[in-house]
Chains A and B, each alone.
Chain A
């Protein structure tokens, strides 16, 4: 009898919480996914099958084991007049429950090994893409096609700060997605520039760490054209949560067209570097590029005290141009300030420096031309 109120109180509390949870959860986004997402590549399909299999085995084990326990809990209780038996061991039983689990494990290990062997086989690929992780963006390079670009989060700051409604692909959208051809085995080479990141798209069934100084390999072969989303999956600092991965999978034809257009863009950019730019043009361009710096130095150039210096009033951004250019191009080893010459083209470096020197209250009036940057490379 003593237990009744206890049960009742807990029952009421848990009922209330459950209801609260339902009401609080805005059903707007209702997805309630319970399992791995539907696979879009052979590897992901294999993993899903494997997952379902081991999941089932584990569930069955859980049901049997806890079934035995709860049966005993309900039947062998003193209040039902149970009298304790005296037995305290049984060698036979103990051998049985050592061997059976072992056999179950062997049964699980065999298909797992097969899937693993398949995943690790990167031979016979027809396209290679190099992926480099940066704090906090991805760089995609197609060495054979001579294409290279960066990919950063494109969700507006206002959405993150709850000042605007969140879009459908909140935090899972980027400016330049990686583009893959459909139905081809693509080999991906992974590395990183600063700290460890991990490249992961759940529907592709691949996840691998991008480690500075080392190259990891993996492959994907996507069944269908479409847009696929994932996220950086290794803690890489402040904006680890804002480093999405979006893959655009195109048909063979569209892919070739895309390669063509990228090659042209590259040529335009090269030309731009030789031209002389007006301050306004540089400032406009610089404001855009500064988006990459804002993660650390703040949208208003205010920095993060103790971690990232402010640009507003910074001795470097208001001092001699050369040391400013040098810092941005070569970074500062051992800190999060990277060498941006490997990440930005001449125009962008020139523009962002101009922008930093003439914003947030800095007004040096300087304008840096791309040609000056080119000369320093």
Chain B
């Protein structure tokens, strides 16, 4: 046990990182091949995914084992906390890049294009827009004809989804309190509710995408509006998926009796991540849907 005062847990040599690197490499290589219709691309890519999943299972398994056998102390716990915090910061900056693209396109590029009579005669700009050669935008949630697209109104599914995510932030916090009070039943219940809410969000989001593609003429290729819309909501949806998977894993660990009222960093990390995903959504809701 890490009873020696001031000692810090240093792991033994590990094969997981190199496995992760090989996985990443074949994922990326396979993807590049897939995009260019080269031979075995999809298979190489799938191999990469499988290797990465194997690595995650193995690596996290090791960490969970170390944690449960009490190798970690407050000091190590603090390292984990700090790194999770900074990791989330890096994610925020990733989204910041896409938000920046949205603001730039909407506030600067489109008005400039609209002013460029010489090249784009008759283009009026405005937002939403698919650009001078793209489809014309019509009122939100209206069925479209050829050459038109319509956007998704803020107060339907997106609003419901906002409510769902905000609620799930509350439920995960309730679960956290329960964990601190060592009320395991309540913990599992509220955490399960959180996971279910996340899943509902994803289902609604998927329905929304289908609606957009099949009825609103709104796709990735719908000019800069479609590009920013799907890039932002898509990456967010991807993060929700990851967050939901993490929460599910944590849920199973809770059911198995992992975590202690005082030491439960993995739980907290998952909760932080979930709050981060929610916060980004609020930004999305305001800047992508409402305004």
Contact = CB atoms under 8 A, between A and B. Distances in A.
Interface string A15-51: 0000000000000000000000000000000000000
A358 interface: no
B123 to A, nearest CB: 11
Nearest to A215: B116
A213 interface: yes
Nearest to A189: B118
A214 B111 CA distance: 11
B116 A214 contact: yes
Which has the most chain A C-beta neighbours within 10 Å: B113, B118, B119?
B119
B9 interface: no
A312 B116 CA distance: 41
A154 B113 CA distance: 35
A356 interface: no
A189 B118 CA distance: 10
B238 interface: no
Interface string B130-147: 000000000000000000
**Residues of B in contact with A, size category:** under 10
B36 to A, nearest CB: 11
Contacts of A214: 112-113, 116, 119
Interface string B115-135: 010111000000000000000
Contacts of A189: 118
A191 B118 CA distance: 10
Interface residues of A, number: 6
A214 B118 CA distance: 9
B118 A215 contact: yes
A134 to B, nearest CB: 15
Q: Is the interface of B mostly helix, strand, loop or mixed?
A: loop
A342 to B, nearest CB: 12
Interface string A241-272: 00000000000000000000000000000000
Contacts of B120: 213
A130 B119 CA distance: 11
Contacts of B113: 213-214
Interface in B241-261: none
A208 to B, nearest CB: 15
Contacts of B116: 213-215
A374 B112 CA distance: 34
Contacts of B118: 130, 189, 215
Contacts of A215: 116, 118-119
Contacts of A213: 113, 116, 119-120
A213 B112 CA distance: 10
A191 B117 CA distance: 13
Nearest to B109: A214
Interface string A212-229: 011100000000000000
A213 B113 CA distance: 8
Interface in A160-214: 189, 191, 213-214
Nearest to B133: A213
A96 to B, nearest CB: 37
A214 B115 CA distance: 9
Interface string A278-294: 00000000000000000
Nearest to A212: B119
Contacts of A191: 119
Interface in B79-123: 112-113, 116, 118-120
A215 B115 CA distance: 10
A213 B131 CA distance: 11
Nearest to B120: A213
Contacts of B119: 191, 213-215
A120 to B, nearest CB: 16
A215 B118 CA distance: 8
Nearest to B115: A215
A130 B112 CA distance: 18
A189 B117 CA distance: 13
A251 B139 CA distance: 57
A61 to B, nearest CB: 36
Nearest to B117: A215
B66 to A, nearest CB: 45
Contacts of B112: 214
B5 to A, nearest CB: 35
Given A130-B118, A214-B112, A214-B119, 7 more contacts: A191-B119, A213-B113, A213-B116, A213-B120, A215-B116, A215-B118, A215-B119
14 contacts: A130-B118, A189-B118, A191-B119, A213-B113, A213-B116, A213-B119, A213-B120, A214-B112, A214-B113, A214-B116, A214-B119, A215-B116, A215-B118, A215-B119
Interface of A: 130, 189, 191, 213-215
